[in-house]
């Protein structure tokens, strides 16, 4: 493999980052396989960058296979991205080995779901390294990951969200009775209990009584220090809408998920293969337009970029809309709604990847034009 990116008429080197230290690790592997397969090899040189569940970075053509097989990678060369914009690449931590000291990278494509990948942490590293990357920046990623902060900002902006209460695991440890009573009094049953910072419906429970609520809180607390309890929308339809763009985002046609289980949990999403997607969703034109409008508004309000999937709950009888959550790195598996919704809207999977990479490069170029230095009238800081 060449150790420098091709310039001019050559291919763009894309570092696809996947795996990670998250309960959504396995979902990331499937998404990454789809992305790397669909990238046009005449345009792009694909560099797989795997992050193990322990946090070790690998740059190898076998990286995806190694993570899927869950084998030891201790003897493989370890790499990292350094926060030095002059390097703009992946640096080997094993200089004595015969591997290249530096892989130059033109653009990074994170296909990481959950904490340490979708929450702004790795986006901060990309910013410090000065490498263009697909998707939301630090702020949009962090807000998009935190369901509590996200909900508060959207509600303040006038976008309807479901009523909820939240608390920390530490607060619950000392005030459990008061917090259970607060949730019951404010929301009533049924309700949903969720870890604030996680996706793929991991750690989420639907509860109908106090015992189930207490068990669900303990489950959620195992995944995050903040716990969200939301009022359930009765007769809810699960509607999803994809958003694409930077400062002028557009929305796809909405689609409806008909889950195989009572709600769209992890098994219904990935394991049993029995959930169904109706694309486009059978919605009245005015309702469809409202959902698309809310999706774009949320994308802009939360300072997202590149891509996002926005999930809604729609009351089947009253046609009342609630924005459930936004996902700044949506799934890219063969059954994922984000690419399927765009395909139904006229953008093929490979063309969608092209657009996302172009948006990343455009956003980086725009930020690169900003001033990062200021010349004062006199160099006051040098004075003794």
Q: Determine how many CB atoms are found less than 10 A away from the CB of residue 248.
A: 7
Q: Would residue 383 count as lying in a domain? A: no
CATH of the domain at 96: 3.40.50.20
Q: Would residue 376 count as lying in a domain? A: no
Q: Which of 177, 198, 231 is where one domain is finished?
A: 231
Q: Is residue 68 classed as helix, strand or coil in its secondary structure?
A: helix
Q: Do residues 243 and 358 share a domain?
A: yes
CATH of the domain at 241: 3.30.470.20
Q: pLDDT (tens digit, 9 = 90+) per residue, 84-122?
A: 888 888 888 876 444 555 678 999 999 998 889 999 999
Average the pLDDT over each of 59-68, 179-188, 204-213, 276-285 and give the range with the smallest value: 59-68
Q: How far apart are CA 21 and CA 52, in angstroms?
A: 7
What is the extent of the structural domain holding 99? 12-133
CATH of the domain at 173: 3.30.1490.20
Residue whose token pair is 């006038």: 158
- Write down the H helix ranges in the chain: 25-38, 63-69, 121-129, 138-145, 147-156, 169-187, 210-221, 266, 285-301, 337-344, 349-368
HSE-CB at 116 with a 13 A cutoff on CA atoms is 17
Q: Are 140 and 305 in contact (CB under 8 A)?
A: yes
Q: Is residue 213 classed as helix, strand or coil in its secondary structure?
A: helix
Q: pLDDT (tens digit, 9 = 90+) per residue, 277-326?
A: 999 999 999 999 999 999 999 999 999 999 999 999 999 988 899 999 99
Residues 6+ apart with CB under 8 A from 169: 221, 224, 225, 226, 227
Residue 205's DSSP bridge partners are: 193
Whether residue 342 is predicted with pLDDT greater than 80 in this model: the reply is yes
How large is the average pLDDT for residues 172-197? 94
Q: How far apart are CA 326 and CA 10, in angstroms?
A: 36
pLDDT score for 8? 43
Number of separate domains in the chain: 3
Q: Do residues 258 and 193 share a domain?
A: no
């Amino acid at each position: 493999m060449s150790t420098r990116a091709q310039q001019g008429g050559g291919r763009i080197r894309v570092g696809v980052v996947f795996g990670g230290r998250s309960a959504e690790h396995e979902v990331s592997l499937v998404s990454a396989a789809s992305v790397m397969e669909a990238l046009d090899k005449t345009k792009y040189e694909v560099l797989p960058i795997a992050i193990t569940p322990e946090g070790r970075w690998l740059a190898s053509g076998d990286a995806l296979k190694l993570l899927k097989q869950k084998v030891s990678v201790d003897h493989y060369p370890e790499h990292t991205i350094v926060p030095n914009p002059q390097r703009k690449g992946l640096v080997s931590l094993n200089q004595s080995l015969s591997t290249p000291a530096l892989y130059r990278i033109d653009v990074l494509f994170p296909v990481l779901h959950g904490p340490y990948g979708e929450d702004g942490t790795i986006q901060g590293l990309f910013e410090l390294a000065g490498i263009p990357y697909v998707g939301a920046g630090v702020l949009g990623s962090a807000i998009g990951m935190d369901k509590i902060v996200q909900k508060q900002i959207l509600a303040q902006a006038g976008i309807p969200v479901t009523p909820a209460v939240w608390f920390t695991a530490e607060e619950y440890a000392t005030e459990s009775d008061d917090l259970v009573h607060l949730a019951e009094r404010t929301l009533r049953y049924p309700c949903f209990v969720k870890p604030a910072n996680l996706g793929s419906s991991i750690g989420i429970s639907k509860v109908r009584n106090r015992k189930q609520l207490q068990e669900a809180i303990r489950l959620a607390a195992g995944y995050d220090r903040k716990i969200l309890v939301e009022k359930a929308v009765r007769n809810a339809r699960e509607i999803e809408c994809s958003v694409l763009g930077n400062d002028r985002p557009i929305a796809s046609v909405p689609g409806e998920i008909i889950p195989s289980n009572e709600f769209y949990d992890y098994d219904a999403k990935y394991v049993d293969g029995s959930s169904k997607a109706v694309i486009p969703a059978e919605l009245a034109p005015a309702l469809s337009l409202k959902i698309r409008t809310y999706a774009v508004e949320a994308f802009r309000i939360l300072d997202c970029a590149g891509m996002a999937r926005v999930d809604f709950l729609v009351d089947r009888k009253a046609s009342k809309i609630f924005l459930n959550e936004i996902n700044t790195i949506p799934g890219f598996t063969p059954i994922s709604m984000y690419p399927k919704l765009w395909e139904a809207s006229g953008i093929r999977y490979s063309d969608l990847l092209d657009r996302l990479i172009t948006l990343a490069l455009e956003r980086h170029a725009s930020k690169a034009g900003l001033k990062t230095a200021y010349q004062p009238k006199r160099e006051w800081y040098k004075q003794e």
